[in-house]
Amino acid sequence: MVLLGADPVVETTLVQIVKAIVIFAVILQVVPVILLLERKLLGRFQQRYGPNRVGPKGALQPFADVLKLLSKESSTPTTAVPWMMAIAPVISIVTAVATLAIIPFGPQGAWGGDLGLYGIDVPIGLLYFFAFGSLAFYAFVLGGWASGSKYSFLGAMRSAAQLISYEVAIGLSLLGVAMMAGSLSLVDIVEAQGSAGKGIWFVVPQFVGFIIFMVAGFAESSRPPFDLPESDAELVAGYNTEYSGMRFGSFFMAEYIEVIVISGVATACFLGGWHGPGPEALAPLWVVLKMFAFVLFFIWIRATLPRLRYDQLMFLGWKVLLPLATLNVLVTAILLVVT
Amino acid sequence: MLFEQILFFIAGFGAIAGALGVAMLRNPFFSVLALVSHLIALAVLFLLLRADFLAAAQVVVYAGAVMVLYVFVVAYVGDSDAPLRATDDGLVKAFGPLAALAIFLEITFAVVGSSLSGLGGRGPDVDARYGSPEAIGDLLLTKFLLPFEAASFLLLLAAVGAVVLARKRRGLEDLDAPGGVAG
C-alpha cells in the first residue's frame, strides 16, 4: 500500500485531503447560517420581523429553504442545452470553494505540530484567487447561454461585463498589498502585518486599496448594490432565470461562498488575518470574527444602498476605480522605493 | 508521483480533446468552450512542470480575459443556425492540407530531432522556487528587461490605439459631457 507508507509526501497528501473535507464541510454549514442571518437582519433593517415561523424565532428557516429547493423539480426549457445547464452551477460552486483553500486561518503550528491552519499556501496566492475568480465567469455565461432564454442571456452578458470590468480594479487594489508584503502568498501577507514586521495592518497604509477592494468585491460577488446581473425588475432573475430546484440553490450558495471568500481575502490582506490579542491558538477565532464583520457589512450595504444603473456601474469601474487603483499602485511603489 | 502521472494524462488528453474540439465542432460557441478547456488543461500541464506563475497567468489572461471576449462575440454574433463551413475557395482547399502537413512535419522533426532523450529520465532537478513569481519577475527585470519593456510599449500602443478607434467611431462626444458644446 502506497497510501499507508511512511513517506512524508504521502502524509501531507492525506493531511491535505482532510483539510479539504473540513473546509468544504464547514463552509457548507456556514452558508445556511449566513442566509438566515441575512434574512433576519434585512427584516430588522426594513422594520419587519423577518422569518420567524419555522423553529424558535425562525432558527430552522434554512432547513425549510433547503428542503423546499431539494424537493422542487429541476425544469429545463425546450430551447436549452441540458448538459451545459447542468454543469454551470457545478462550475460556480467549484470555483467559489476552490478559492477558500488559500484563506489562512492561522499560522503554521498554531494548533501544535507543523499543521498550517489553511488549505494550501501557494507562492502564487493572490493570482490563484484571481484565476478562479475569472473562471467563475463561465458559470454565469454557460448558465445564461444554455438556458435558451433571452432574460437569462442578457443577465449572463451583464454578469460577464461586470466581472471583467471589476476584475481589473480588484487585481490592482491588491497589488499594493502584495508590494508591501513582498509576496503574493496570503500567509506571507498576514505574517508581514504581524508583530515581527512593521506590525501594522495593511488597512492603514493601503486604505485606498482597501476601499477599492471592497467596492470591487461587492461587484465581483454580484451583491447589491451591484446585482445588475439579476436585477429582478428588468431581467426577472438574470442568468439563473430558468433554473429551479437545487441547481438554482447551487448558484445561490456559490454567491454566498463568494461573499465568504472575499471576506476572507479582505481579512488576510487588510485586517491582519489571524493577528489579535491572546495566545496563538486563538488565531482562527480572530479570522472568523473579522470575516463575520465583513459578512455583516455585506448585509448592511445590501439593506442600505439602491442598485446602480448600468452606465453608472461601468463609469464607476473604468473611470473611477481603475485610475484610483493605478494611482494607488504607483504611489505605493514610489513610497516603497524611497523609504 | 502516481498522482502527478494520473493528472498528466488527464490534462494531456484534455488538451488534445480541447484542441480537436476547436477544429471539429460545428457550433462556434462549443468551439470557443473547447478552446477554454484546452487552455485550462495546458495550465494544469504548466503546474506539473513547476511553472506555477505561468499556470496562473495562463488561466487569468487566456481563459479569464481573452476567451471571455471570444465568448462575448460568439454569443452575440455567432449564430448556431449558420454553422462554420469549409470555404468553397479552391485555393484555400488545396493549400489548407498542405500547410497542415508542413506544420506536422516541422513539429515531428523538432520532436524526433531531440531524440526524445527526456523520456527515459526523471527530468531535470529544479529548486522549489523555479517557476515562482519572484523568479519570473527577477528574470523579466534583469535578463529580459529589453524585450519586456518592448512588449509593454507595444501593449500600451495597442491600448491607446483601441481608445482612439473607439472614440472616432462613436461620434457621441457632445453627449458625453452634458452641457458641453460639440466641436
Most confident range, picked from A235-239, A244-248, B50-54: B50-54
- Mean pLDDT estimate for chain A: 81
Is A123's CB within 8 Å of B56's CB?
Answer: no
Low-confidence winner among A240-244, A265-269, B115-119 (lowest mean pLDDT) = B115-119
> How large is the average pLDDT for residues A202-221?
85
B175: pLDDT strictly greater than 80: no
C-alpha neighbours within 13 Å on the C-beta side of residue A239: 30
Please tell me which of the candidates A2, A134, A167 has its beta carbon nearest to residue B59: A134
A92: pLDDT strictly greater than 90: no
Burial zone of B101 (CB within 10 Å; 0-12 exposed, 13-18 middle, 19+ buried): exposed
Do A268 and A188 form a contact (C-beta atoms < 8 A)? no
pLDDT in tens, A41-64: 888 888 888 888 887 877 888 888
A326–B contact, CB cutoff 8 A:
no
Is B76's CB within 8 Å of A157's CB?
Answer: yes
Q: State the pLDDT at residue B183.
A: 42
Q: How confident is the model at residue B89 (pLDDT cuts 50, 70, 90)?
A: low
B182: pLDDT strictly greater than 60: no
Structural domain tally of chain B?
A: 1
Q: How confident is the model at residue B147 (pLDDT cuts 50, 70, 90)?
A: very high
d(CA A299, CA A35): 10
A20–B contact, CB cutoff 8 A:
no
Please tell me which of the candidates A127, A134, A184 has its beta carbon nearest to residue B65: A134
Taking each helix axis from N to C terminus, what angle separates A207-220 and A283-304, rounded to the nearest 10 degrees? 70
d(CA A195, CA A183): 17
> Residues of A with CB below 8 A from B63's CB?
131, 134-135
Q: What does the block give as the cell for A178?
A: 502584495
Considering the domain boundaries, does residue B138 fall inside one?
A: yes
> Residues of B with CB below 8 A from A13's CB?
3
* H or E segment to which residue A107 belongs: strand A106-108
Buried b (16+ CB within 10 A) or exposed e, B30-65: bbbbbbbbbbbbbbbbbbeebbbbbbbbbbbebbbe
Considering the domain boundaries, does residue B103 fall inside one?
A: no
* H or E segment to which residue B47 belongs: helix B28-48
pLDDT in tens, A310-329: 788 888 888 888 899 989 99
pLDDT in tens, A163-206: 888 888 888 888 888 888 888 888 888 888 876 555 678 877 88
C-alpha neighbours within 13 Å on the C-beta side of residue B10: 10
Query: Which residue of B lies nearest to A134 if distances are taken between CA atoms?
Result: B64
Instruction: Look at A240 and B84; give whichever has higher pLDDT.
Output: A240
> Residues of A with CB below 8 A from B129's CB?
123
Q: State the pLDDT at residue A112.
A: 64
B102: pLDDT strictly greater than 90: yes
Please tell me which of the candidates A2, A135, A160 has its beta carbon nearest to residue B59: A135
Q: State the pLDDT at residue B16.
A: 92
d(CA B67, CA A137): 11
> Residues of B with CB below 8 A from A142's CB?
33
Please tell me which of the candidates A123, A138, A160 has its beta carbon nearest to residue B52: A123
Among candidate residues A162, A3, A149, A26, the one with its CA nearest the CA of residue A76: A149
Q: 10 Å Cβ neighbour count for A102?
A: 24
Q: How confident is the model at residue A4 (pLDDT cuts 50, 70, 90)?
A: very low
- Is the full-model pTM beyond 0.90? no
d(CA B179, CA B174): 8
**Phi and psi at residue A114, to the nearest 5°:** -110, 35
Instruction: Look at B118 and A82; give whichever has higher pLDDT.
Output: A82
Among candidate residues A133, A134, A151, A152, the one with its CA nearest the CA of residue A142: A152
> How large is the average pLDDT for residues A288-300?
89
Residue from A79, A130, A138 to probe the interface with B (highest B Cβ count within 10 Å): A138
Considering the domain boundaries, does residue B122 fall inside one?
A: no
Low-confidence winner among A42-56, B42-56, B82-96 (lowest mean pLDDT) = B82-96
Q: State the pLDDT at residue B152.
A: 92
Considering the domain boundaries, does residue B50 fall inside one?
A: yes
Q: State the pLDDT at residue B88.
A: 64
Considering the domain boundaries, does residue B87 fall inside one?
A: no
Q: State the pLDDT at residue A190.
A: 83
Please tell me which of the candidates B52, B57, B129 has its beta carbon nearest to residue A122: B52
Instruction: Report which residue type is found at A319.
Output: K
Break chain A into its structural domains and give their ranges. Answer: 1-71, 78-338
Query: Which residue of B lies nearest to A315 if distances are taken between CA atoms?
Result: B176
Residue the block writes with cell 497567468? B57
B133: pLDDT strictly greater than 50: yes
Closest Cα in chain B, distance from residue A130 (Å): 7
Interface residues of B toward A, Cβ cutoff 8 Å, are: 2-3, 29, 33, 36, 40, 52-53, 55-57, 59-60, 63-65, 68, 71-72, 75-76, 129, 132-134
Is B59's CB within 8 Å of A13's CB?
Answer: no
Percent of chain A at pLDDT above 70?
Answer: 91
Burial zone of A25 (CB within 10 Å; 0-12 exposed, 13-18 middle, 19+ buried): exposed
Domain with B50 in it: 1-79+130-183
User: Which distant-in-sequence residues (6+ apart) come within 8 Å of B34 by Cβ?
Assistant: B17, B18, B19, B20, B21, B22, B25
pLDDT in tens, A271-283: 887 877 777 777 7
A291: pLDDT strictly greater than 60: yes
A267: pLDDT strictly greater than 70: yes
Q: 10 Å Cβ neighbour count for A19?
A: 18
> Residues of A with CB below 8 A from B29's CB?
145
Do A302 and A42 form a contact (C-beta atoms < 8 A)? yes
Q: What is the CATH number of the domain that holds B58?
A: 1.20.120.1200
Q: What does the block give as the cell for A6?
A: 511512511
> How large is the average pLDDT for residues B140-160?
91
